[in-house]
Each structure stands twice: as C-alpha cells, then as structure tokens.
Structure 1
Amino acid sequence: MVNVPFLANSEPAAVRRPAFAIAHSSGAASGGTGSLGGLAAAAGNLLGQGGDDFWLSHTLEIAVQTGPLPFVNSACITFAAADAPDIALQDAVTISLGYADAAPEAVFTGSVTRQVRTLAGLTHLYASDGGGRLARQRLNQSYAAQNAGDIVRDLASQAGVETDVIESGLSLPFYALASTTPLQAQIAALARRSGYWAYFTPAGKLTFAPVSEGETVQTFTYGTDVLKLEITEAAPALDGVQVSGEGAAGSQGQDAWNWLVADATGVQAQAGSGEAQRWASDGALRSQDAARTAATARASAAASVQLTGELWVPGAPQVAVGRQIAIAAAPENFLNGNYQVERVCHRLSKSRGFVTRLSLLKTASVPLGALAALGGLL
C-alpha cells in the first residue's frame, strides 16, 4: 500500500467555492404528480446565504454513497429543522453538487426513506434510489427462454425502477427466482454470471452492461488535486474456474433444460489454469454456452483486476460508478494511469468543504473470449 500526501508547496489551484442544489418533489416518488413548491434545483454557494431557499439557508451537510449492486445507493442531508418544509416518506429528492463557477451536477436521484430528528434542532434526511426499491421486493417467479437483460427489464418494471442501458447478457433457457433473495441481489447475480456491472446512474436509472474502458471523465494530477492516494497490488484470488450447470439444453435443445443428464460435461466449462482452482455449481446455467460465459466472467474478473485503490480529491461531481478516471504526475509511475470507478462517496459540509472519495480498479485488457479460447489466465 502506498500513501501519496498532498504537496503543500506546489502551485495551488484557483479557489472554488462549493455549491449544491436540492430538489424535493412531494409525492412524486409514490406515483403522484408532485409539486416542487419553490424548492427545486435552486443552486447556491455553500458558504454563502440561501436567501429565500430553505435548503441553501439551512443545510449543514450532504453525504452521498454509490456503488454497483447489490450495494444500495444512499444519501443523507443534515439540516436545521426550523421552518422546515413538509417532507414525507417516499417524497422524491435529487441532489446536485458542484461549484459556484459552474452549474451543479446531479449525483443522486431517489426518494426519502427515513427522517431522524434531534433535540439539537437538526434533522437527518435519508434517501435511497431504485436500488432501495429493488431491495424491498422479493419474488417467486420463473422465466423460460429469456436472456439476463430481459429478466432485469422485467424486474425493474415490477419494482417501478427506470432503466438506462440494459444489454442482453447470457441466454437462460429457464431461470427461477426465490423470495429468499431480494431483487437487487438477484440482478447483481445475473450481472456476475454475464460479466457485467449493474448500477444506478446519477439520474436514478438502472444500467446492466459490461464496463468498458471508454473515455476518462477527469484526470487528477498529483500536487494539484490529489489529496490522498492508496493503491494496493495483490495476486489474483484464483487461477481458474470450473462451472457446472444442470439440464441438457446445450445438446438437446432449449426444451431439454429440465432433463437429468448422466454425463454433466455438456453443461460444464472451465476458464484459466493453475494451482488456485475454484469449482462452482449453478443450477441456473442450463447450457454449455451459459456455463462457459459464467466461468469466463469469473476468471476474467479475478485475472484482470491488477490494482485496487482509494483516492481522495476535491469534490468531483462528474465522476460516477462505472466511469473511468486518470491519475497523472505521481512521483512513482506505478501509480499513474487509468482506473475504473467502483464506488463514489461525496461529502459536502459547511465546516469541511467538498471532498470525494473514490474506490478504484485498474484492469488489464483481457477480453472475455481470450480466457476461454486459450484455456489459461493471461
């Protein structure tokens, strides 16, 4: 683990004053038309006065935490309760963060789940996004001849969750849900089998897709906007995976998903090789293609994650889960490069300013098909 301190003797960046906006819509989260009541998206200087806007005048702290499912995104707004507007559970809330020299960007869209009032005259308002809705719902349900994306779309629709990009994922001749597992964990399991990430965007929409390298949304430079950086390099937890499914859909057609087979090799697949092997049985995999996809996804995830880390920076509202950032000019070249963002924690307060903590992954360019084709880890 390497710690990189902030260089106090470097040329400081221009001073930026944190700003925020809170939009509260009564009843919108429960299907009503909602009324913004003058509280919508009135951005203001965190350190200044809010004028007639309640949130700008009374908010003391905002904390937002986001990550891929099964993690449920959450937000907490702490404010002085005097003359507070009427806020009900399930009311919609959107939080935007940024700076006074630019319009704040939405970092969280969800609904109120809890309010805590104190004798000190403060209220802590908690909210979650669509992940919270999924976490509250459990179903006993089955699907025939669907792909993972089709199932995710249906679950999101039943939970009243909006969707963004939903890709197909692996094909499932038959798939059953049990009420012992909440829907956000069911979707996370489908994502792992497909080699995807499932997460909510700042606009509160569900994404189910592979994480691509893409374009970096922001570069953080040592000595300018890196407050603290910790990078850990570790050997992969496993060298290879063998996955066994059930049924004979691969060799006997989709209608044979429920057949018992004397020889299970038709629904088995292996990816990678070495001493640290893992074996997994998954009854949801009813064909060799599905078993191969799941095995390759597991092995690729273990092999491709070379570095993990935590990065603290001045507030970065444009950075979100699934996006890519870059680190530059660190004294050790080992620390520089592009990283995938896995978790984001924003904290903005009148006493401590605006800081963002990012959980990062650095991945190698290992195509999913390469592991299965070569039979070993790269």
Structure 2
Amino acid sequence: MTTAPEASRTAATSQAIGFLLLDNFTLISLASAIEPLRMANQLAGRELYSWYTISLDGEAVKASDGLCVTPDVGTQTALTLDTVIVCGGVGPQRAVKREHLSWLQAQARLSRRLAAVCTGSWALAKAGLLDGYETSTHWECLAAMQEAFPKVALSTRLFSIDRDRATSSGGTAPMDMMLTLIGRDHGRELAAGISEMFIYDRVRNEQDLQRVPLKHVLGTTQPKLLEIVALMESNLEEPITLDELANYVDVSRRQLERLFQKNLHCSPSRYYLKLRLTRARQLLKQTPMSIIEVASACGFVSTPHFSKCYREYFGIPPRDERLDKSSVEMLPVTLGKEPAALLQSASYEQRPLEPLSAAMGALAQAQGEPTYASVRLKS
C-alpha cells in the first residue's frame, strides 16, 4: 500500500476531501463541488481545504460528457481524509462496484464524513451508509432509490445535511451544498465572498427543492391549482377522482377543468395521466419491477390499458424501455439514414474516417439511459 504525499496543512484548520469518481459521473457536479474549495483557499490566503480525486485503480474515469479525468490516486492509496464525496452521474446502478462499497464502508469505520453529489448517493445507500439519514439525489434517481433502499429517508431538496452525511442533487446544486458547509466551517462572510467571485446571485439553502416547482411557473395567484397538483403527485398509486379533487379544494368540477385549461393548457385528467406515466417510466428504467407491478404502482387497473396509454404518450410500449442498447455498436450518424445504410453508402465510403466526437458518443449512450428525454419540451 502506497501513501500519497502529505500536503502541508494545519490539522486544526485544513480539511482533506476525497472525491470518489464513478464511471459516467457528471463533470458539472464535480466542478461545482471542487471550485468553492479552491476559491475558499484563495480568499482566505491559506489552505483551508485540500482535495484528491480517486478511482478504484487510479486509472482515468470517463465523465458522462465523454471527457476523461485522471485521478490523483486509487483506492489502494492510504489517505488521511476528513470527508469523502462520491461523484455519480448516469447509470449509478452499473457504475457502483463491490470494491466501491467495501472502500466506502472502510471510510465510515474511520469516522469520516460521507457525502455525495448527483447520483453518488446510490453508492452510499448500497453500502448501507444512508439508512435513517435524510438524503438528496438527482430527481431522476428518486424512484429507483425509493424502491431499492426503503430505509433511506429520501428528500426532494436540492441538498441535505444530516449529521455526518451530506448529499446533493446534480448540476450546480453541489455548489450550494459546499457553500453551506464552508459557511459552517469558516463563517458566512467567506461563503458570501466565494458566491460573489462566481457571480452566484443566491446561495440556495436546504429548503429549496429540485426542478422548477409549479408554484414558480404559476406564481402565487393559483393556490387551489397548486394544491390540486400536490394531491395528484401524492396519490399516483391510488388516483383520486376529479370530483374528489374538486371537493378537497372547494371548487366545482367545471372550475377545476377551467383552471387546468387556462394555466396548464390541458385537462386535469390528462395532467394526472402524465404524472403517472412519468413515474412509470422511471420505475421501468431504474428498477427490476415487472410491467404488471409498475402498472399497479402507478394506478392502472390493467396492464393492457397501461401499455396503450404508455405507447400513446411515449411512442413505444413499456417493454421496449428495457431493451439493452449497450451492446449496439455506436456508428457515425447522418440524419435520415440508419447506420447499416451508411455502411453501404458510396458517399460514406469515400469520406475519410474521422474520430467519433465525444459529444456524439455521450448522446448515443444517453439514448439508452433512464435520463434520456425525461423532460419533454413543448413543440
């Protein structure tokens, strides 16, 4: 076992943080977590934090955008760490190995603070290190984690800090979590200074939720509509009838219809169906539940009816969501042509071979992932 060079730091004031990189981690989450540490040192004029990037074998790890990061050390290297942060991204179920779990459990036995960004919380939960802890993860991973880890207290908050655990969702949310932790360690003034340097207008706190809540779309002028949607979201397995929803918020059925048509441009039944089908897609792509189980969990009384609704909304039947696309060879793509047709095309054969763009590779891989096309854009 080798030992990494010791950084010159004062134990009382400097903290060492290890970033464990999982395959297909999201680079923006890693950067959002590391950059506040760099700026904290810069503004303080001394080393408040040191950090190492870590992989199982010390070899380069590819991010979800195709870029590779060469870590500082492998897990076999002995490091004196105060905090370990797991950096996840696309497909954490496949990225987490048994060796990851063993190493994380060893870190827990050393009483180190454990944290995660994006979907890195999957690794901590799989290692049994989040049982009974409030936990945040990327919203697309929530359904899978709820099914796989019932002892974990999952939250829709941007980030959660619970005792010696800190977990955040993805994107820029890790920056909010790190600024909060830095503020606790060294005061709000330093955290505010870092925020100012990054032109970060507002540091979000633990009460902020993921995605854009409907109330931010509608404002505060439609409290009854917000209440109805909240009821829908809380009752996907056993849907509430529209008459019951209207009664709960003291409006007529006609008023209920008008509220949805005016503000959400669809009927309340259509909106409710969309919520249930979106949940079904997460369960199909992120859990081993059968189609029958998924249909039941999302309030469909029969599998044929579920399949019909699913196909109409997503354009494919539920069973096709589980086709393994990882074995499909990635080929250069030209609009309007299939890869096989391209290989037979004279114009394609005459073109000089070019390396596949990292962006194209990332997109091709994403098409087989649970995160692909989860957010439907208006045409």
**Is TM (by shorter chain) over 0.5?**
no
Which fold has the larger relative contact order, with Cα–Cα distance below 8 Å and residues 6 or more apart in sequence?
1
TM-score by length of 2: 0.29
More helix by share: 2
Bigger proportion of residues as strand: 1
